[in-house]
Structure 1
Amino acid sequence: MGKLNLEALLKPISAAEDALARLDERVTRSEVGQGFAERADFFEAVSNMWVAGELVHLEDLVLHDAQMDVRAPSHELVIAHRIVRARRRAMRNDPGWAVSRAGIQAFAGITEQEDELPRKLKRGGEESDLETDEHDALLPELAQIDKVLAETSWLVKALPSGFTRTRQPELIVGELVIRDPDWEESERISEWLELVRKVEALPATLAAAVLWDGWEALEPLQRQHWLGQVLISDFLRSRGKVRSHLLAFSVGLREMPRERRRARNRTTRLGAFIDAIIAAAGAGMKDLDRLTLAKRQLERRVVGKRSNSSLPAAIELILSRPIVSAHMLAKSAGITPRGALNLVGALGVREVTGRGRYRVWGGV
């Protein structure tokens, strides 16, 4: 882990600890705490992609999450939605689960080989042995594939004597990614988990900064580097600093200049990460204030309405999403799209598109 320059970090550590404590207390006691936590998932996903150098529009992400895309989702949009789902999954589990080996492997889709492949498949030409269920409907097709491989094996054997066959990275065309077979993800995960054990004695915010710096240096997962921000937020939750929700760490991280985030000096980098926690907590407090004010203004529209009005359900959705569409309101309130437009008009929500089609409204 190396020696830390605590004298230069004591002041930002104290400020970060106080900021997280105030935010957690306010979210816990707030009447819009649930909506705030759901909105934070979207803001965090967009900011996470921004830090990685990718641009994802917030409205596209919200509509994609509601399965109401207005266009074919891009590769970056799909990754951003995976971040949203990963944060929701971390919140459904116990604090600290995401930072465990089981949690990381679950997020990365890594399973034990024996559990993943209960049936052994060996191929070796005409003498290949296929162990499977005798009623397997794919058995004839697999046997035909083995026959073709056996008949074409001479092409490989006929390579020139001076030709050297090198091991190439695996290309998965369907996922548009290139795997490095020598990445050794398991060893890197073990090294990072060992770092998690070593920082237990440090203050929570400093420990989170050290873990994030270690994740950036080790890069345990070659395809899901974005998972680091989710793990750091869950680590703070496991240490009891932010138990009401997952901190939108990347929202504060994007406010830090790249020169500080990528500085050669480790103390400078750690200071930037701690300042990012302070910025994320400050942004959360402002968003919480806006949500509280918006809720009070919207609830005034409900005064005097009938008891079975759909306005409360519409208000709840508006406060839990950065933007909403007529179809999202209709689905949430169980009404028609025309009825959803009437609800929007009754609530006086601000429209953010100004178009006749694909109209969306922003509550805050």
Structure 2
Amino acid sequence: MAFENRGGYYEERLIPRSYDLPELPWAAISGRLETITISVLRFDARLEASGLDAGWQSRCDMTEAVRALILDGHLVDVGDLVLHDAGMDVRHPTHELTRAAAALRTRRTALARKAPWPLSIDGLAALRGIGPVKADAARLRTKARPDPDDDAAYPPYANDADPWAAHLAEIDALLDRTDKVLAGETPLPKSRSHLVYDPDQDEAEAEDLWLDVVKRTSHWPAVAAAAVAWNAWLDLNLYTRLPWLGLIMAASILRARGLTSHLLPLAAGFKQSKFRPQGREGAKEKLEGFCQVLEEALVIATKDLDRLILARELMARVTAKTRSNSKLPQLVELFLSRPLVTVPLGAKLLNVTPKAIDLMLAQLGGALPRELTGRTRYRAWGIV
């Protein structure tokens, strides 16, 4: 038995042994899917042509990590996350901040690897933070004992005349397993508390069902496949302690299908939209809800790109007059890739003194991004 939090209400439900694909009214939704697909393709093309795709994605990842924790009911300041990511915490990291950092690391990992990788068992294992594992090894629950009458089940050294051969071979095998654990190839077994995890929930089976849904919808339109996969993720109650991972996987499906080469801010779109899945919606309503999330995500992404383009044009007028060895263009790139920049942060990342950062900020003049704090001891600027 599993309990799931949807829209603030806990629902008691059973994990199904199989997942049936919904019957979608293709004739009625084809126009809607085509409109959304064209919008995603246009935004992706505009982002690539702007030359700000790397900076936009970096900002998007950080803000998405904060919004993902908001959806889970926790507040994290984006400034704290930026400083924590740079190793410059101004205070001891909280539990919520470490979870936001985990969400940020997951998005970067999903984007750094090739598109189909996040939609595999190894990708799921790595994104949830237990390291890469093989599909067969992840599903082994018990190790069968070898048949005593089967000679092939026992190593040749077991009946060797040298009594030390078997002991030395066992030591070599132990060292080999230890090296694999230290290298991250084999995850350490972790004890799962029944107070936190449901002992009746088989995550490996739920993973197989979800991956099977992704495989069976591989010939569907990309938006419909991502919508069905996200709803299947919610229905199967995958990784209840990582509620934000489902939206990242939906964005990874859009990327794997070639609709976009980036990870769209679906968490921001879900927060802005009015759609809240309750588990009682029909197939068409669920698809329409995901389309609303995707539309809101595109609106937010477009506005952020517009702000970056305008800020770059204003600051480019100043950097065009600087010397060739000036680090002011690097400070501009820092503004374009971070939601927030402080003097110590700029000094560390640009490898200059804080006084040099102060001089460059004064050199920007009216093109300087907005000051966010308004304090004298802790000052930060950002493009908002």
Structure-1 residue corresponding to 2:278:
262
Structure-1 residue corresponding to 2:97:
77
Structure-2 residue corresponding to 1:93:
113
Give the Cα separation in 2 of the matches to 1:5 and 1:54. 38
* 2:203 counterpart of 1:185: yes
CA offset digits 1:50-77 (Å, max 9, x no partner): 2222222222221211122222222122
Residue type of the alignment partner of 1:55:
L
Give the Cα separation in 2 of the matches to 1:252 and 1:208. 14
Give the Cα separation in 2 of the matches to 1:190 and 1:85. 24
Structure-2 residue corresponding to 1:58:
78
CA offset digits 1:75-120 (Å, max 9, x no partner): 12211111111111112111121011110012221646979xxxxx
Q: 5 Å matches for 1:297-308?
A: 297-308=314-325
Secondary structure at the residue paired with 2:217?
helix
Match of 2:252 among 205, 211, 234: 234
Residue type of the alignment partner of 1:26:
R
Match of 1:200 among 199, 215, 218: 218
Residue type of the alignment partner of 1:233:
A
Return structure 1 stretches of 4+ with deviation > 4 angstroms. 112-115
Give the drift of 1:42: 1.2
Give the Cα separation in 2 of the matches to 1:227 and 1:214. 13
Q: 5 Å matches for 1:1-364?
A: 1-108=21-128, 109=130, 111=133, 170-171=192-193, 178-243=196-261, 245-258=262-275, 260-262=276-278, 264-266=280-282, 267-347=284-364, 348-364=368-384
Does the C-alpha gap of structure 1 residues 51 and 5 become closer, same or farther in structure 2, counting only changes over 3 Å?
farther
Give the Cα separation in 1 of the matches to 2:45 and 2:88. 35
Give the Cα separation in 2 of the matches to 1:246 and 1:114. 29
Identical amino acids, percent of aligned pairs: 36
TM-score by length of 1: 0.79
Give the Cα separation in 2 of the matches to 1:70 and 1:268. 45
Residue type of the alignment partner of 1:340:
I
Residue type of the alignment partner of 1:4:
L
Residue type of the alignment partner of 2:381:
W
Residue type of the alignment partner of 2:270:
L
Secondary structure at the residue paired with 2:196?
strand
8 Å CA contact retained: 2:207, 2:238:
yes
Residue type of the alignment partner of 2:230:
W
Count of paired positions: 313
CA offset digits 1:320-359 (Å, max 9, x no partner): 0111111111122210112112222222332111112222
Structure-2 residue corresponding to 1:164:
none
Give the Cα separation in 2 of the matches to 1:90 and 1:42. 14
Residue type of the alignment partner of 1:352:
L
Does the C-alpha gap of structure 1 residues 315 and 219 become closer, same or farther in structure 2, counting only changes over 3 Å?
same
Give the RMSD, CA atoms, in angstroms: 2.6
Gaps of 5+ in 2: 1-20, 139-169, 176-190
Secondary structure at the residue paired with 1:273?
helix
